[in-house]
Structure 1
């Protein structure tokens, strides 16, 4: 009777669809194809966010193997979701599994018995992040199918993965972008520009650069994911799903190419390589050709969704599938395909064992390849689940240990740092990344030096020490290698903070700083009220008060002459300037970062489109106009006619150029960034020459490194430190034009003042640069007076990806100081 009752209940539940066990007949009813009422990855079809959210909600309602959680809101207010998929038994024991993962991630203070028990009781936690880059569309629908397979299938590896692991599948890491891309594509279907790029960023401030934000954590989505990974779930493995260009390999899997960053534990690198190598075999068995390894994507750079976790002892897997035109299929002849290893001939190699032969390539093909990789990944994990738990634990123990071979004991953030806003921001993001920060309760001694009470200590005796070192140290990029992204990023330097590396024993009392607690040395009333323009909080307070038309007394520096102080106060305390940010229809990421920085500093602005500029009389609307890092071609000509709908084509052309010239002559302030500077220099005939573009310097190169600038004496720079670190990434460096050059170019006579120069020697702080002597001593930031107005030319981006906190000061001074 008992057995009969249990069977009857089981059949009744299945009949009403309250649970899903295996490949039961009703499981097909909630397959994505049934929900979408079309085939998966159908040509010319994309899903919007409501559809995606609706499907995951439907699946969770039907399956006891799925829990759907809303963990926050996106930048634009959509639900940020995670789908937790595992066996019903594992889902009932989530808290215990999380506790085991936390012990494995941080084994300090645990006995061998406790560690063994964590491995025995624990389950592999895998994070999967589809469609961060929303134009890489296929992973959104792939994730829906993957969720269904994992939730319902009784076949291996799906069923074994449910038993041996918990999968945290994000329906999308960028829900806002899912909507923007789907709506744009649908709007343009069957038009000549069906596959045209979006006119706006698919993530409000960053666009594609949202995958450069995972240590700076400027965006909500990066903050939410970091909290999930480093404070709640402590995964052992994560898979970041991407697409790449159309004409090369069909699918990239690790191993990554050189160089290898030494701050990634060898066990983590070995795990990455093992998973990728097994995937090549498994996917080849599934007739997936065109798979490549060891090209394009290196294991050096930091800041990405798979690279930050790797320094946290998490195996970070990146896959890149070849793209179609959104959901529109493409046809490629073999002769159109480029060799992924950069050879002249498109042919096989040990890294590219079975080249794709060409033909049709569509969204459904991308989904097939991604699902084949998922099947391989799940098989690799579920065959030896305890291996991955032990792998992370061993790496975490090694990262926490200090032995005779250790390079350092800790990093100190000293109390003499004047930019308290930068200190607080750095401490907050370190804590969000799961990094412990301590505060000294007494004087501390290290390496024969004494440091004041309140000094912040970031210890290297913690599992996150590899990430700590990678963020703080000055990088030396290996000779003979090329960087995939930037080669240097030293965050403390870019924040303008004094940090000290401790090699020897640290003596003194320290206490762990709570994540909700401000460091006392940086929050006492005396320092909190200091009104120094070396503190970024000053700008925020200043802008708030001027927005309310309140008077504000300032202190530029102790060395300022009293008369100069009074003059600055009188000029700066009247009202906020009317600021415009030029926004081309090319979805400029730098324009987005500029907007984010202005909002972070609470400086009001308006976006300025081509039509507004062309209408002229700009001085009636704006006091300041900023042109972000946009190419001269984009500024002048914009998007080509026929490449997008008509109102989005064109640039400033002659009409807009003359309006900009008139704006400056009428007393406006024009602030120009990096790539846009040549357009303004040519337009306004400014006698400056970019030395990086001169023929004799064509072998100069720097794709992204931290450099040192020397502040020049000027009222605008008064009170700044003597030197400032910032990012040089294909940036500009100027010298004054010779009289012969001025005559040939018909430059006008104008007053050019250098406000910041590249250091005359040792200009490179972190990363790599070929022939640094080319820019040493040259101008990095210039102020030019013309007519009643002026132009600020930045050869670099003073807000680069939100990383360069120290040079935020330069941006604000260019806007507010006359």
Structure 2
């Protein structure tokens, strides 16, 4: 833990300090075409060589290796500024770090640093590889900044430090090579056969608080530990129909964890961007209520910086190397606040999209160059505000407390304890101020100041993973160097402590505390306004870690971990034993060890009494190697357990389809992390009987037709455009052929496990199960509850499990589940059909938004059905959600052995 991750000097691999006139290679001279030419794309290999070339040729550009991708390609950080700034760029980086962390500074010292520093602006591209505008604007912007002698560009270089980053090199190569393989330009397409990030595809923009993927971890190190930029610009496409760009300011709701300066800072940058486009006669910029994008959610490259006091900017720009068109949307032809400068319908070329993107980059740089000292000082100010809030009693107003105040007032009026206000019926009615103190300022409604994660919890290894995710995001933590006592309770050595009196307090609060999404409807009593992404995601809840809240400071024998330094596990040594070893089955990492033992030929058992895993003493050497680096309890057995159930790994088939399934991809990553061997299978394998090669089939998310559909609806390219080697991936799952084949597979002894929408298989198999989320329409037919009655976007709910069941071994009787309008079931428990757990509360919501949640009461979250010689396991909630929901991984893992 002594290694300091704060760089004292940047080591750049290539740079040139020649101050004389420079010759900078044009993109056309390097790529063979101009960036923005129709039907032309560059792959990452070509882009990488151009980045390296420009860094050699230009004294305005430095390049630094910053890690490798999941497929082994190098990621680079490009640092761009004037030669004079680059000569002392480490000074500016340290100023940004110091102001962003806001520790031990006075306002006067901060103002002095802000005046001496240079604002740091992050510009990225290539996140979603089929959005080629974002990646290719990097090339054009880099060339402009490296070569232009205009006074405008020289001014930006003098006043700003620019960081440029390609987010997804692997996908760039895959998509560009696929697109360019067709000689006939009119046939060029982006219908690739697999995900454009090895495991997660489009969901690579859902990993920026968990940092599972290498690309996300690389970015976090640069952004949250080494540099701390004030503005983060994340390029995407495509815009809403009838527009060119969707950008800031964004619609409500914004997250109440933010500092007000963050929200108004977004507005300031947004106005600079749209003004520049209007000055250049570039219409079609849509914003605010005319766009779908809000600032509520955490986890995206643009949104996660908000929780670090960084101004995150997202634009979605139309365009494609294949010419497209701006469609006619009559409602978008009349100017309004959300679309002040409409655009006429027209044919659209790639070059136009590149031009818009470069203009918006320059708009941001112009804003930063004019407001550099303000950006830097406000960065400090937001951090300082966070530290002060964490050092004292602080209350965050959220919708639940507002509703509680209103309810208390209404109750008092009904009981005639208070008189009705004359404005009670107004939209924004005032109520007596006493309710402010009586509700919002109650001591129990304060924000926590300290979180302790005890080292003696059942799965401390997962708790370490959780805190390491915080550390990757620039949060600092403490670890107890010895046992300590607080409020009369003893906590063991190695317990983890996270305090909120730090600059990135919004991130700390957001990862520990429930999100309280407002009840946002189109009109009173009407259908909901859908969140842009998740409504609730509290990572500590998803991961199922045990933690305790404290509302005062906690002192003890704590060692503060340096910024960016991961928690290391001490070497785990096995005790001496003559009777074998018991491996703690409540820890997810136990499955890593079990799989290593099984793969090396050792026998592994479940102890029917303790439910832990058991191995004989002869496995000691393999066991010792397997537990290395893991925080996992292994105890010496006092005697060999009386009843042991032998484990055998099942042959796992994981369903996927042409183009790639993200839930399946996340599951691939999970299985690999925990040592499960698997093979993917595809729709054709169901119909031709290849599934007989597997013991268990996993359908995670999409995979089974909806109960009233004949086939699935996977996007399929024209077969003639798919090379022969990928045609085995094509196909749909059909009701008339595939479903009978799956049923026959189970009846002959196979097993199927479904998660989420694939649990429709329950109804295709005609099991005696009903859907509690249906109602009867006027025509007497069943139909889903309307959104006005029931709506639960991605949120976290509480459920109960029957821990006596083998399917639930290692889990607690209550569990936090990630729920996204997920299936639930009604069934009568029978020998061959039983529930593994249910939602038993009237209000099970823990984090997020759950309208009509009472409809879930009594609904089963998962079932087991025996059919012939085999079994079907069906889980409604997202038990593998984006590889974040560690608290429910065992619901998958337990079923992967005999």
TM-score normalised by L of structure 2: 0.81
Q: CA shift at 1:779, angstroms?
A: 1.0
Match in the other structure for 2:700: 628
Larger mean CA deviation between 300-309 and 691-700 belongs to 691-700
Tell me the CA shift for residue 41 of structure 1: 0.8
- 8 Å Cα contact 2:33-2:40 kept in structure 1: no
**Secondary structure of 1:754's aligned partner:** strand
| Separation (CA, whole Å) in 2 of partners of 1:607 and 1:799 | 17
Alpha carbons 1:556, 1:719 under 8 Å: kept: no
Superposition deviation, residue 627 in structure 1: 1.2
Q: Determine if the alignment matches structure 1 residue 476 to structure 2 residue 470.
A: no
Tell me how far apart the structure 1 counterparts of residues 141 and 824 of structure 2 sit (CA, whole Å): 50
Q: Within 5 A, what are the aligned runs for 1:30-41? A: 30-41=25-36
Q: Of residues 593, 615, 627 in structure 1, which corresponds to 2:688?
A: 615
Distance 1:600 1:60, change over 3 A: same
- What residue number does 2:762 align with? 681
CA contact (8 A) 2:654 2:697 kept: yes
Q: Secondary structure at the match of 2:172?
A: helix
Q: Whole-Å Cα distance in 2 between the matches of residues 759 and 429 of structure 1?
A: 32
1:705 aligns with 2:705: no
Compared CA separation, residues 644 and 215, structure 1 to 2 (3 A): farther
What runs of 5+ residues in structure 2 fail to find an aligned partner? Answer: 1-14, 396-446, 522-528, 615-639, 776-782
Aligned counterparts of 2:601 and 2:38: Cα–Cα separation in 1:
56
- Listed one character per residue, the Cα deviations across residues 394-422 of structure 1 (whole Å, up to 9, x for unaligned) are 11111111234353311221234211221
* Aligned equivalent of 2:868: 787
Query: How far 1:329 sits from its partner (Å)?
Result: 0.6
Q: Which residue of 382, 387, 390 corresponds with 1:395? A: 382
The equivalent residue for 2:650 is 577
1:754, 1:783 within 8 Å by CA — same for their partners in 2?
yes
- What corresponds to 1:532 in structure 2? 584
Structure 1 stretch displaced more, 293-302 or 451-460 = 451-460
2:698–2:754 CA contact under 8 A, matched in 1: yes
Distance in 2 (alpha carbons) for counterparts of 1:682 and 1:448: 54
SS at match of 2:341: coil
Range with greater deviation from structure 2 (345-354 or 806-815)? 345-354
**Which of residues 754, 758, 763 is equivalent to 2:835?**
754
Higher alpha-carbon deviation: 247-256 or 796-805: 247-256
**Cα distance in structure 2, aligned partners of 1:537 and 1:682:** 35
1:95 maps to 2:90: yes
- Higher mean Cα deviation, 604-613 or 307-316? 604-613
Aligned to 1:671: 753
* Aligned-residue offset at 1:750: 8.2
| Equivalent position SS for 1:292 | strand
- Structure 1 unaligned segments of length 5 or more: list them: 1-16, 340-344, 739-748
Q: Does 1:642 align with 2:631?
A: no
Q: Does residue 1:198 correspond to 2:192, yes or no?
A: yes
- Relative distance call for 1:149 and 1:357 in structure 2 (3 A) is same
Equivalent residue, structure 1, for 2:857: 776
The residue number in structure 1 matching 2:679 is: 606
Q: 2:545 is matched with which residue: 488, 497, 501?
A: 497
**Contact 2:697–2:751 (CA<8 Å) still a contact in 1?**
yes
Deviations along 1:679-715, whole A, 9 cap, x unmatched?
Answer: x224322222232344362331111100112102322
Aligned counterparts of 1:290 and 1:584: Cα–Cα separation in 2: 37
- Aligned-partner Cα distance in 2 for 1:50–1:301: 34
Match for residue 636 of structure 2? none
Contact 2:239 2:246 in 1 (8 A): no
- Alignment partner, residue 8 of structure 1: none
Q: Does 1:283 align with 2:277?
A: yes
| Counterpart in the other structure of 1:309 | 305
Counterparts in 2 of 1:188 and 1:703: CA distance versus 1, 3 Å: farther
**Quick one: structure 1 residues 696 and 117, their matched pair in 2 at CA, closer, same or farther if it must change by over 3 Å?**
closer
The match for 2:177 among 170, 183, 203 is 183
Q: Residue 20 and residue 354 in structure 1: after superposition, are their counterparts in 2 closer, same or farther (change >3 A)?
A: farther
> Partner of 2:66: helix, strand, or coil?
strand
Aligned to 1:511: 559
Deviation (angstroms), 1:553: 4.6
CA distance in 2, matches of 1:423, 1:319: 35
Correspondence 1:299-378 to 2 at 5 A: 299-322=295-318, 324=319, 326-334=320-328, 337=329, 339=331, 346-378=333-365
Deviations 1:432-475 (A, max 9, x none): 11111112356666678665554321101111111000111012
Q: For 2:476 and 2:839, locate their aligned partners in 1 and report how far apart those are by CA, in whole Å.
A: 35
Alpha-carbon contact 1:420-1:537 (below 8 Å) kept = no
**CA deviations over 1:28-65 (Å, ceiling 9, x no partner):** x5121332232221111111111111211111111111
Q: Which secondary structure state, in structure 2, belongs to the residue aligned with residue 379 of structure 1? A: helix
Q: Matches of 2:812 and 2:321 in 1, distance apart?
A: 52
Return the alpha-carbon distance in structure 1 between the equivalents of residues 163 and 613 of structure 2. Answer: 60
Name the SS of the counterpart of 1:157 in structure 2: helix
Q: Distance in 2 between matches of 1:150 and 1:346?
A: 35
Q: Is 1:805 the equivalent of 2:845?
A: no
Q: Give, in whole Å, the separation in 2 of the partners of 1:204 and 1:251.
A: 29
Of the candidates 483, 486, 506, which is equivalent to residue 534 of structure 2? 486
Partner of 2:459: 419
Aligned partner of 2:819 among 728, 739, 743: 728
2:625 pairs with 1:546: no
Match of 1:558 in 2: 610
Alpha-carbon displacement from aligned partner over 1:64-112 (angstroms, at most 9, x marks no partner) = 1111222111111111112111111221212222221221112212456
Say if 1:491 and 1:803, in contact at 8 Å, map to a contact too.
Answer: yes
Q: In structure 2, the residue corresponding to 1:792 is in which secondary structure?
A: strand
Shifted more, 406-415 versus 348-357: the winner is 406-415
1:783 partner SS: strand
In 2, Cα distance between the equivalents of 1:225 and 1:338?
41
Q: Tell me what 2:417 maps to.
A: none
**Conservation of the 8 A alpha-carbon contact between 1:531 and 1:555:** no
Residue aligned with 1:689, SS? coil
Query: CA separation in 1, counterparts of 2:558 and 2:468?
Result: 18
CA RMSD of aligned residues (A): 2.9
| Structure holding more helix per residue | 1
Classify 1:420/1:508 alpha carbon distance in 2 versus 1 (closer, same or farther; 3 Å).
closer
Distance in 1 of aligned mates of 2:174 and 2:182? 12
Which whole-Å CA distance do the structure 1 matches of 2:448 and 2:226 have between them?
A: 29
Give yes or no for the alignment of 1:144 onto 2:225.
Answer: no
State the shift of 1:641 in Å: 7.1
Cα distance, 1:117 vs. partner?
A: 4.5
The 2-side partners of 1:120 and 1:258 are apart by 34
Superposed CA offset, 1:521-558 (max 9, x none): x979789x861221011011011111111123545763
Structure 2: distance between partners of 1:688 and 1:566:
39
Instruction: Give the aligned partner of residue 426 of structure 2.
Output: none
Contact 1:128 1:167 (8 Å CA) reproduced: yes
Cα distance change on mapping 1:37 and 1:271 into 2, 3 Å: same
Aligned residue number for residue 163 of structure 1: 158
Matched-pair contact (CA < 8 Å) for 1:292–1:351: yes
Q: Distance in 2 between matches of 1:665 and 1:61?
A: 66
Task: Provide the secondary structure at the position in 1 that maps to 2:589.
Answer: helix
Residue 155 of structure 1 and its aligned partner are, at CA, apart by: 2.1
Secondary structure at 1:98 match in 2: helix
Cα shift at 1:658:
3.3
1-structure distance, mates of 2:600, 2:888 = 26
